[in-house]
Amino acid sequence: MVNDEVRAVCRPGDPGFAEQYRAIDARDTRFDGQFYTAVSSTGIYCRPSCPARTPAERYVSFYRSSAAAQVAGYRACKRCLPEAVPGTPEWNLRGDVAGRAMRLIGDGQVDRAGVEGLSERLGYTPRHLRRILTEQLGAGPLALARARRAHTARALLVDTDLDAAQVAFAAGFGSIRQFNDTILEVFAMTPLDIRARAKPAARVPRSGARPLIDLQLPVRQPYDAPGVFAFLASRAIEGVESVGSAEGEPLRYARTLRLPGGPAAIEVHAENGIRDWTLRARIELSALADVGTAVSRVRRLLDLDADPLAVDHALRLDQALAPRVSATPGIRVPGAVDSHEIVIRALIGQQISVAAARTHLGRLAAGLGTPYASAFEGLTRLFPEPGTLAEGIPNPDADAPRDPERILRLPDRQVRTVRDTAAALASGELTVHLGQDTHELRAALEARPGIGPWTASYIAMRVLGDPDAWLPGDVALLAGARALGILADLAGSEPAVKPATRAMQHRTLESRAADWAPWRSYAAMHLWRAAS
C-alpha cells in the first residue's frame, strides 16, 4: 500500500489514513509488513492484522517501517509480533533513493560498511541520505539497520538454541549490552523472555566447522511455491544448485552462495498445508554474522515479499490473463542471490533454450567453480567469480580451429561478450547490485557490446526485483500470448514467419503489455508458463 504522496507517518485526516484504518479494523493480513499501526494510548505498534481491539482513530498513527515506529518511541506488540511478518514490496516498486537504500540495508550494507558505505553505493553524501530517509521513512539508515538486527535477533531467539552472545553477533550487534538494550527497548522483553515465550528452539547442529541455522520464512499468501521451485529447477546448475524431493514430501531447493563472511549454502523446503504454504530454510554458514544477509537474499530469490493480491487483482482485469491468474494465484518472479551470477546467466542464455543455457553454465561451473563441501545433498561447488571467468575463458581466435573441448562452446562473439563483461564486473568498470536505479543499470548494460534490451531487462527483473520489466523480442512471450489468445488474430509462430511480421507481433504484444503495468514482470511469468 503506497500513498501517492510519500509520508513517513500517516495520522487522522492525512491522505490514505481512512483506507489503512479500514484494513486494521478488518484485521486484514494482506497488509502485514506493508505498514505498522502505532497506538499512542498504549505506546505499542502492531501489524495490521493484530487481534487486539481496534483502537480509536484519534490514538492511531501509521508508519511505513517498524524502525520509524521505534524511533517515535513505540515498542513492539507482544501479542501480534509485528517483526514476524513478510517485508514490504514497496522497495521494489519504488525506484527512488529510499527504495534503493532499503534494499541495500536489508542486505546488510550498513552492518558491513556503515552509513558511509551505503551512501557511496547510492552516490549521495551521508548527510543527504540521512535527510531523505528521515523525511520519507521516519528513520535514518542507522535506525533502519537497527530494526533489521532486532528482526534477525528475534527470529534466532525463537527458532534456535544459540546462546545470547551468539545471537547478538549473528544479528550484527556490536556488543552484548547493545543487543540487550535494543531487544528490551523494541520488544519490552529481555532476550531470555522472548525465548521463554516461544516453543522449544531447535538445536543448532554443525556441518564440519559450519553452523546450520534453521529458520521459518514468513511469506505473504497466496504463494505459488510449485511454480517458483519449478522455475529454479529448470535452470539449476549441477553442483551449484540441487532440487527435487520424493513424492509426498515438501518441495526442496538448495544452492551454494558467497556471503561477506565466506562461502555458504541454503536449503529451502516448502510444505503445503491445509490453506497456505509454509517455508523453512536451513542455512550453512562460514560466519554467523551472515545470517541476516543470507535470509534477505533467499527471500529475494523466492520473491517472498511480493503483494500477490495486488498483482492478481490487476492482471485479472485482462480477460485473456484472468483464467491463468485464477489457476495460479500468487505467481512470483524469482530473484537473485548473486547479481554477478545473474549477469553471466543472462548473457549465456541469450537466444538459446533454457536447457542449452543450463548445459553451458554447468560446464563453466564444473571447470572454473570453487569446490565446496556441503551438508546439503547435491552441492559441491560455488559458481565462479567474474575474475575467474575472465581468466578461465579463452579469448576466441578467429584464425585458429575451434577446440571441441573448450569450456564455453558458444559463437565467438557471444564468448567475447561473456568474457569481457566478466572482466568489467571484476575490475569495477561495470557495477551491478540491487541498490541501483533501474534505468541507469539498463543504460550501462546496453552500452556494452553484445548486450541488448532483452538481456538488460532480464537482469533488472532478477537482480533489482523490478516488478514492471518487459523483455522485448522474447519469442516465448509471443508463444504464451498466442496460447492465451492474445495474439490469435496474427499469423503463426513457425520460423518461416517473415521477420517483418514477427517484429509487428512483438510491437503488438508490447503495446498490449502496457495495460499490465506496473506488474509486467508477473504477466511475463504467466505468459512463459502458458508457452511451456
Question: Which positions are annotated as active-site residues?
Answer: 46, 474
Helix (H, G, I), strand (E, B) or coil at 238: strand
Please answer whether residues 470 and 520 qualify as being in contact, where contact means their C-beta atoms are separated by less than 8 angstroms. Answer: yes
Residue 481's H or E segment, with its range, is helix 475-483
Q: Coil, strand or helix: which one is 500?
A: helix
Distance CA 134, CA 435 (A): 18
CA dihedral 430, 431, 437, 440 (to 10 degrees): -10
| Alpha-carbon torsion angle 126, 131, 133, 136, nearest 10 | -160
- 159 vs 127: CA distance, rounded Å: 37
C-alpha cell at 5: 504522496
> 497: how many CB neighbours lie within 10 A of its CB?
15
Helix (H/G/I), strand (E/B), else coil: 202: strand
- C-alpha 294/C-alpha 326 separation (Å) is 33
Report the largest interatomic distance among the alpha carbons of the chain, rounded to a whole angstrom: 80
Q: Find the length of the chain.
A: 532
The one-letter amino acid code at 325 reads: V
129/473 Cα distance (integer angstroms): 38
Strands of 75-76's sheet in order across: 9-10, 60-63, 36-39, 44-46, 75-76
Q: Contact, 516 vs 481, CB < 8 A?
A: no
Could you give the CA distance from residue 532 to residue 527 in angstroms, rounded to a whole number? 9
Provide the 10 A C-beta neighbour count for residue 4: 7
Distance CA 67, CA 139 (A): 6
> How many angstroms separate the CA atoms of 435 and 41, rounded?
38
Cα separation, 53 vs 80, in Å, equals: 12
Element (H, E) at 282: strand 277-284
